[in-house]
Amino acid sequence: MEVEQVNNLENKPFILGMDVSFMDEIEQHGGSYSDVDGKQQDLLSILKLNGTNAIRLRIWNDPAGGFCNLERTVAVAKRIKEQGMQFLLDFHYSDRWADPANQWKPKAWENLSYEELQRAVCTYTADVLSTLKENNALPDMVQVGNEITPGMLWDEGRVSGEEHDTDEQWERFAGLVKYGIAAVKSVDSNINIMIHIDRGGDNVESRKFYDRFEALGVEFDTIGLSYYPWWHGTLDALRDNLHDLAARYGKPINVVETAYPWTLEQPEEHEWILNQEDLLLPGYPASVEGQKRYLQDLLQIIREVPGGLGQGFYYWEPAWIPSKPEWSVGHPNNWGNLTMFDFKGRKLESFTALTASKHSETETGTLKGSALIK
C-alpha cells in the first residue's frame, strides 16, 4: 500500500522520548540524578545529553498530594521548553491513574450529566492549554485520554465488557473524545492529537478500536500504543501490529509507553511489578546490556514501519527511582528495576541505545511527509 503524505510529520525528527512525570515529586523530596561518573546533574540535562529529544508529562485534574496538577505541570513544562525538547501532554481526565483497569471521573465531575461532562472536558482541556500557552509552555502533542482501550470517564464513556460494548456507548465515548480534540484545536490548531491505547502486540483489539474511531469520525493525527512485553506479547507481535496499522490507517504511530528491566534484584521493602525471569523476552536478560539490546531492537522495529510512519517512542518513567517507599497518589514504588537509572539515580549505560539511534537518523535522513528523505 502506498501511503500518502501525513500532516504534522514534515521535517520532524524521530522521537526519542521519556516520560518523567514523577521527576517533580522526586526532586522535591530529596531524590537526585547523576551521570555515570556520579556527578549530580539536572535530570532533563542528563536526558538531553544522552539522546532524548522529547518529554511526556501526565496531568491529573485534582490529585492527592498536588503533583501532576496544572500548577506543577506548568512549572515542569517551562523547564522542558527551556531545554528545547518536544513536549507531549497526556490528559488522564481523572484525579488519579487512568488505564485499562481505571478510567474513573474526577471527583468534581462525578455528578454531571453526559452533556455537562462533554462541556467539562472541553472547558478543562482548553483552560489547561491556554494556561500553558500563556506561560510559553504549550505542548507540541496532546493525548486526549490515557490508554483508553476500555473508554474513559466511566461509566458514561465506558466501552469495556458486554454490557458497555455497544454502538450507543461507543458513540458516547467518541463524543467525549471529540470535545477534547475540539478544545485542543481551539487553543492551537497545530497541536498534534494522539489517541492512545494499550495493545502494542494485539492487532485484533487495536484494529477493533481504531476501526470504531474511524467509523465514528474521530479526527486525530497519531496512533499511540503502550507496549510492555510481559503484558503485550513478543517483539514480532509488535512489529506485525505496527505494519498492519500503518497500512490500514496511514497515520504516524508512536510506541508511547514501554520499559524493560535492568535487574531483578529487589531491595528490602520493595516488590517490583516485574520480578519473574520467565516473563522476560528470550535473549533479553534483566541486565543493563539486556535493556540496551531491547531498546536497540525496539527502535529498529519502529524505524522500519512502512511509509516512514514509525514516529518514535517514549520510555515510561525511566527516572522513577525508589527514593520514596510511597508516593503522593498512594502508590508503592514498584518500578525501580524498569528505570534507566540505578537505585541511587545514576544513569545506566543503556542510554547508548538512544545515542546510536540518533546517529542512525543522521545517516539515513529525517522524516518528511510520510517517507524518509536523504
Q: What is the pLDDT of residues 190-203, one digit of tens each?
A: 999 999 999 999 99
Predicted pLDDT at 1: 41
Q: Is 257 a catalytic residue?
A: yes
- 329 lies in a domain? yes
Cβ neighbours of residue 368 closer than 8 Å, sequence gap 6 or more: 9, 10, 11
Torsion of CA 78, 133, 71, 315, to 10 degrees: -60
Q: Is 372 inside any structural domain?
A: no
What digits encode the pLDDT tens for the residues 134-156?
A: 999 999 999 999 999 999 999 99
Looking at the 3D structure of the chain, how many domains does it have? 1
User: What pLDDT score does 16 carry?
Assistant: 98
Distance CA 87, CA 70 (A): 15
Residue 369 belongs to some domain of the structure = no
Per-position DSSP letters for 49-64, written without gaps between them:
HTT--EEEEEE-SS-T
CA distance 312 to 357: 11
359 in a domain, yes or no? no
The answer to whether 191 and 183 have CB atoms below 8 angstroms apart is no
- 360 pLDDT band, cuts 50/70/90, is low
3-state helix, strand, coil in the chain (%, to 5): 40, 20, 45
Is residue 29 a part of any domain in this protein? yes
Question: Is 374 inside a domain boundary?
Answer: no
Per-residue confidence (pLDDT) for residue 8, from 0 to 100: 45
The pLDDT tens digits for 315-343 are 999 999 999 878 988 778 899 999 999 99
- R_g of the chain computed on alpha carbons: 20
Question: Cell digits for 259?
Answer: 520499559
Q: What is the pLDDT of residue 356?
A: 85
Cα-based distances in Å from 205 to 196, 240, 250: 13, 13, 18
Q: Is the pLDDT of residue 86 over 60?
A: yes
Q: What is the pTM of this model?
A: 0.94
Choose, from 147, 156, 168, 268, the residue flagged as catalytic.
Answer: 147
CATH code at position 30: 3.20.20.80
User: In the beta sheet, which residues pair with residue 332?
Assistant: 326
Q: Give the separation between CA 297 and CA 6, rounded to whole angstroms.
A: 25
pLDDT at 17 over 70: yes
pLDDT of residue 3: 44
Give tens-digit pLDDT for 232-254: 999 999 999 999 999 999 999 99
* 18 within a domain of the structure (yes/no): yes
What do you get for the CA distance between the two ends of the chain, in Å? 22
Is-catalytic flag, 82? no
What is the span of the domain harbouring residue 23?
Answer: 12-354
Cα 91 to the center of its chain, rounded Å = 10
| Residue among 339, 270, 330, 362 nearest 64 (CA) | 330
- Averaged pLDDT of the chain: 93
pLDDT at residue 270 in the model: 87
- How many of the other CB atoms lie within 10 Å of CB of 109? 19
**Among 257, 268, 277, 361, which one carries the catalytic annotation?**
257
To the nearest 10°, report the CA torsion of 352, 254, 311, 15. Answer: -40
Cell 523530596 appears where?
29
- The 10 Å Cβ neighbour count of residue 76 is 21
* 207 part of a folded domain: yes
